[in-house]
Structure 1
Amino acid sequence: MRRLYPFDPLFKHHLIIALLLAIWVFVFLYFSEPLDVNQFNANEKLLFLPGYGLLGGLCYLIFVPFQYFLYSKNNAKWTIISELVFLFSFCFVSVVVARIFYLFVVVPNEPNPYTLGYMLKAIYFPAIITILPIILISRFAFGKYHDKRLDDQKIEIKGEGNYEGLRLQLNDLICVKSSDNYIEVYYLSGTYLKKTLIRNKLSVIDEDFEELQRTHRSFLINPYHFQQWKINNGKHILLLSHVIEVPVSKTYLTDVKSVIELTTN
């Protein structure tokens, strides 16, 4: 089983990380003065070193969409492998960009610039070792914070047994169907549709969660997942996410239409 790793989808948090990264790159180069940096005068340091920091921050922001791509390709799950792929890709591109900046901005007319191998050993690897913990700690902290907020927002559908129940985000819940002495809960896990059988009554769930709408004596729906109306042999049917069809009885038709209209507007 793949081990999950904290994931933060909020761009504003990654913007903060990019800013911290830019500042830290500047501070690291300014005070450690590796190779060519120790040959700069005070004005040259203030001219070139912020450029390295800015490029580091921009490289990180450019890779945020790549992170979202990996997340979606992995069925809305973020693993340790995903984190390592992201960080390795970011570090590789950052080294390439820093090398280009060095050759074409810092020493554009220098006949004998430092070789890539020498700079990797003397500057880039030490810089990565110093800077990477800042990125790791920031990403992990923001990811844990986001996970905690999501967990605090979860609803719990309880069963009659001591160990029965289901915790999930409200927007992941699609519908609940009565099934004898049980209820069938249809919900999303990432991008997959799942169903869990819980020993409870539909009337209890209806009382516990006013966000859900009764459509039939055997169904409760989450209006958030409404797709379209259908009429089959004069009977109204709601089409929900993942092509789930739910009947709407005449008793609840007016209320359902009002709720759907409010939700879609």
Structure 2
Amino acid sequence: MLQHKYPFDSSIKHHIIIALGLALWIFIFLYFTEPLDVNEFGDTEKLIYMPLYGLLGAFCYLLFLPIQNYLYQKNDQHWFVKTELLFFLIFIIVSIVAARLFYLYVIVPGEPYPYTLWYHLTSVIFPALLTILPIVIFGRFAFGKYKNKKIQDQKIEIKGEGNYEGLRILLNDLICIQSSDNYIEVFCISGNDVKKTLIRNKLSKIADDFPELLRTHRSFIINPYHFKQWKTEKGKLFAELSSSIFIPISNTYKTEVKSVLNSTTE
């Protein structure tokens, strides 16, 4: 279960929105519910300290984002249940430490009898976390599901004939397709590697279904997005694609291919 993928959105903008929503929720919760001795603050003090608590919560959330991005890249842009749990563990620990320090050095500096750590944890911090964490969990999950849906909507489906399995991938992950007898071999990016998938279908059928792809040879169609440069070897012309894949250009398609690929590099 811990290895299962978890809905995740890596957009910094969306995480900033979550942090701002968290700050606003903390302020509203503290201002209107007045837990413990918050009701002893005057209106001016409430408008000073309550927003500061909110900003402190937002800061604790944003503090983790560089680590989050590191973990996301390390896992080949995948996010798992165990990674999400690690995020919340770090977020909770950092929030507890920050809340305690803020209380001691901002709220009651020099107070001879501040809350003990245990009382502060059980009566203030833990109850506050129980109201805060659902907001963070929901926000992260909702943005993650929204991103996953957008990705699925952007995918193309390369179908196999009959009951043969097809392939759903993002167009920009598709590098090229090669004809292999009654099959086609699809080359696509998977993380940091190139994955090859064999599907029962005809190259001409795929070329008709996806006019955004470019026919370069009777046995190849390519995605112009992955074009890098030209290469000539023994009088034959090749197009170099991502991951150092070289595709032959036949005389039949040379004029059109050059016109399209040269325009992609301008």
Q: Deviations over 1:149-185 (max 9, x none)?
A: 1111111111112242111111111110011111000
Q: Deviations over 1:75-120 (max 9, x none)?
A: 2211111111112112222222223322332223334433333322
Check if 1:248 corresponds to 2:241.
Answer: no
Contact 1:76–1:191, Cα closer than 8 Å, also in 2: no
Aligned to 1:128: 129
Partner SS, residue 50 of structure 1: helix
Aligned to 1:164: 165
Aligned to 2:227: 226
**CA distance in 1: counterparts of 2:232 and 2:168, whole angstroms:** 34
Partner SS, residue 248 of structure 2: strand
Aligned to 1:203: 204
Alignment gaps of 5+ in structure 1? none
Partner SS, residue 251 of structure 1: coil
Paired residues, what number? 265
RMSD (CA atoms): 1.9
Partner SS, residue 236 of structure 1: strand
Q: 1:159 to 1:49 in 2, by over 3 A?
A: same
**CA distance in 1: counterparts of 2:72 and 2:173, whole angstroms:** 17
Q: Deviations over 1:188-209 (max 9, x none)?
A: 2233321110111111111111
Aligned to 2:144: 143
Partner SS, residue 81 of structure 1: helix
Contact 1:227–1:240, Cα closer than 8 Å, also in 2: yes
**CA distance in 2: counterparts of 1:192 and 1:98, whole angstroms:** 44
Aligned to 2:75: 74
Deviates more, 1:145-154 or 1:237-246: 237-246
Contact 1:215–1:221, Cα closer than 8 Å, also in 2: yes
**CA distance in 2: counterparts of 1:240 and 1:80, whole angstroms:** 35
Partner SS, residue 230 of structure 2: strand
Aligned to 1:186: 187
Aligned to 1:102: 103
Contact 1:34–1:122, Cα closer than 8 Å, also in 2: no
